[in-house]
Chains A and B, each alone.
Chain A
Amino acid sequence: MMPRFVKQLALFLLPLGLVLAGVNYIGDAAKLFTDGYEASIAELMTQGHHVTQLSDYNDRRLQIELVKRRSTGPQIAVIGSSRAMLLNEHHFYPSSTFNHSVYAATWTDLLSLFKLLRAHNQLPDTLIIGIDPWTFNPSHLHAHTHTWLEFESDGSYVQRAPSFNTLWERWSSLFSPSYFQASMEEIPKRISGDDVPLPVNERYNAKRTRCSDGSLTYDTIFGDTDTLLVLDRVQLFLRGPLYGMKGYTTTDKEGFSAMQEMVLTAHDQGVYPIVFFAPVAPQVHARLAREYPIALNNEQRFRDWAVEKGIEVRGSFNPYHSGISIRHFYDGIHMNETGVSVFFTPRD
């Protein structure tokens, strides 16, 4: 009876698995099974174009492709997560600026970005380092270290960080329901050819745009800062576990000291580091304070250490410290342009 049941169940699930894998492979929302996508974006950006009509892509690979194509570095560079991605050349005009932030950055990403710039003799005069609430969470998965290992021979440090198996990430994504939803949306674009990166002259477009200075502009729908819409997004973000915070009960000592070491190394090499704690929306901050006070304590610890070493610090996870409110946000953890300009005033 039992073997027949198991066999019948397996046979029943087989077509579903095939549909799931088929849609995820063909739609491939994050371009896990597509080669050369990031290189084509990097090529257009290096030519001075803003690039829109983007699917999800491997941001680490894009950074490597960008740095490889460049002979000299910018005067000002930003490394951080999507929370620091809105910083652009207008905030630092007339200095040349490049934003190297990557989506969902962990401390190994920050370190690898720093090492990437240093390895290519592209360290800037000023380096803005975006720290996130999850940066010092030892339980947070360093999901992208494989890319650094894949492309960077100088990956000695990240190899020691908890790594995510490339093969596992690829093949488990084939059977991921959430990847299915994103990939399903991509299939019509694939068929109509709308998934090819499109060079544009304008920074703001109907779709999300990666600008030639590495920064990001959101699509016009997302960029709609109607307060109710933002509150809706904040609420969506607050449903379920807080991103990156699961298991955050102790401090990632290795990450904490690695970030300190990186800041000091940059400083010693003539770079002016600025540590940036981009605020989170008030509702998210309240939940952080309630459930993960350790994240706020670690912010304070890092700030105290930086101040003691004479390192400039801007911002705070706590939005009230800077007097900003929900109208300065796009969603729970991303400030809009108005919010960013509170900390970095546009100069042109």
Chain B
Amino acid sequence: MLFHSLEFAFFIPVVFALYWLAGRGGSAAQNAVAVAASAVFYGWWDVRFLVLIAASTAIDYAVGRGLKTASGTLHRKLLLALSIVVNLGLLGFFKYANFFIVEFTEAFSLFGRQLEPRTLSIILPVGISFYTFQTLSYSIDVYRRRLEPTHDPVAFAAFVTFFPQLVAGPIERATKLLPQFAVVRRFNRDEAIDGLRQILWGLFKKLVIADNAARHADMIFNYSDAFSGSTLLLGSFFFAFQIYGDFSGYSDMAIGTARLFGIQLSQNFNFPYFSRDVAEFWRRWHISLSTWFRDYLYIPLGGSRGSRWQTVRNTFAIFIVSGFWHGANLTFIAWGALHALYFLPLQLTKRNRRYLGERAADRSIPALRQLVSMASTFTLVVLAWVLFRAKNIAHATSIFTEMASASLFTEPIFPNRRHAFYTGLLILLFLGMEWIGRHNRYAIETTAFSKHRFIRYGLYYTLLLIILAFGCFSGNAFIYFQF
């Protein structure tokens, strides 16, 4: 079930009513409604997926309880290992099995043996990368004694399966989300209105920006052989806005929907395309995943505390694993490695934390130097997206080669340039609104604009009319569902 589908439009009011009615029965009743609704939401794709998530939930709940009572270090380690093996095992089997089979057989051919790869017929369960990481964080935090294990299986199930963030995050930590399910949620009108506002902004990003940009990005990348370097570069820019609008739009809808139910989720994007260097970009892009890898991989590996070599190793590890998390393809690994190359010079010269403050904090337009930094960072990010979007390394190489040729300086020619022009105007409008609202959690949060009701409502209706007039209603799924 997609957030921008008709099914969801019927689903959400029903769940909303049941959930708040259940509030009279305490947190247990609210959690039960949340779990049931999440099962319907998730099972809508394929009921078989429910078995998997139920198994993951049950095992991690049991591991948590076991860690509470286990006394010996070995026993605790074994329990943690069980959680890690089960979660990463599920992820590895469903997401990476075929990748390793193909790569293994290809590697064999290097030794003169030709093997026919026999891939498995596996459906990738939607959102598996997200909820396995979420449950893993619970087990690890309980193991590290940073979190008291819950004794409420329904609350735990609600934490794992909570439908707004189940299939594409934000990846929540148990320390933040689980306590919210332990208490009765009281309806807060202001929170709910703010949630609706964030949903509206998410819908705009997804239906207007991402899906319109996708039309051109898909065309240009799918038939890249037919296009000049300038068109390919333009296609990469379109993809940059497609993926940002798509994923951050989903996050806004998820966070906004959760707020309708009195649940606070973490901010997942913080206007990343206004970053002044790549280090800042990674503090603002897919924040819940970056911090997950920081806390559960990078810091345990030693972070930047060891020798220079160890720092380089750890940085590459986190970026490459992050890339591989996105998909079983060498292109994602290359994308991660390229970002590591972008990041390392900043880190090794200790300039990776230069930009912790707000961009152009006390002015409406950035200084020229900031503008140049933002533009150059954005261009680097766009070039890296080529690897992310390409079918394989050879495809990416051919795109880069064409981009580096003289055809980069020719007029971009591709179908439906008129539509592309309008899409470009919409993107400019979007960027303008994001810039104005960059101090907020999302661009149109109330404080960014006039407190006057007339102007505020005028903005909402304008956005809604733009969505109706220019939105794509063909039911395109979110890109990050495939991860």
Contact = CB atoms under 8 A, between A and B. Distances in A.
Interface string B166-178: 0000000000000
A29 interface: no
Contacts of B414: 228
Contact of B415 (A16, A19, A228): A228
Interface in B419-465: 457, 460-461, 464-465
A231 B467 CA distance: 26
A184 interface: yes
A177 B466 CA distance: 11
Contacts of B193: 5, 8
B415 A229 contact: yes
B117 interface: no
A276 to B, nearest CB: 28
B136 interface: no
Interface in A263-310: none
Contact of B469 (A1, A15, A16, A184): A184
A177 B203 CA distance: 13
Interface in B383-429: 414-416
Interface residue tally on A, bucketed by range:
20 to 34
B465 A19 contact: yes
B218 A239 contact: yes
Given A239-B474, A240-B474, A232 B416 contact: yes
Interface residues of B, number: 31
B267 to A, nearest CB: 24
A228 B223 contact: yes
B19 to A, nearest CB: 11
A165 interface: no
Contacts of B187: 1-2, 5
Secondary structure type dominating chain A contacts:
helix
A241 interface: yes
Interface in A4-29: 4-5, 8-9, 12, 15-16, 19-20
A304 B476 CA distance: 37
Given A1-B187, A15-B461, A228 B226 contact: yes
A34 interface: no
B192 interface: yes
B20 A178 contact: no
Contacts of A241: 475
Contacts of A1: 187-189
A65 to B, nearest CB: 31
B419 to A, nearest CB: 9
Interface string A73-95: 00000000000000000000000
12 contacts: A2-B187, A5-B189, A5-B193, A16-B461, A177-B468, A178-B473, A228-B223, A228-B226, A228-B414, A235-B215, A239-B214, A240-B474
Interface of A: 1-2, 4-5, 8-9, 12, 15-16, 19-20, 177-178, 180-181, 184, 226, 228-229, 231-232, 235-236, 239-241
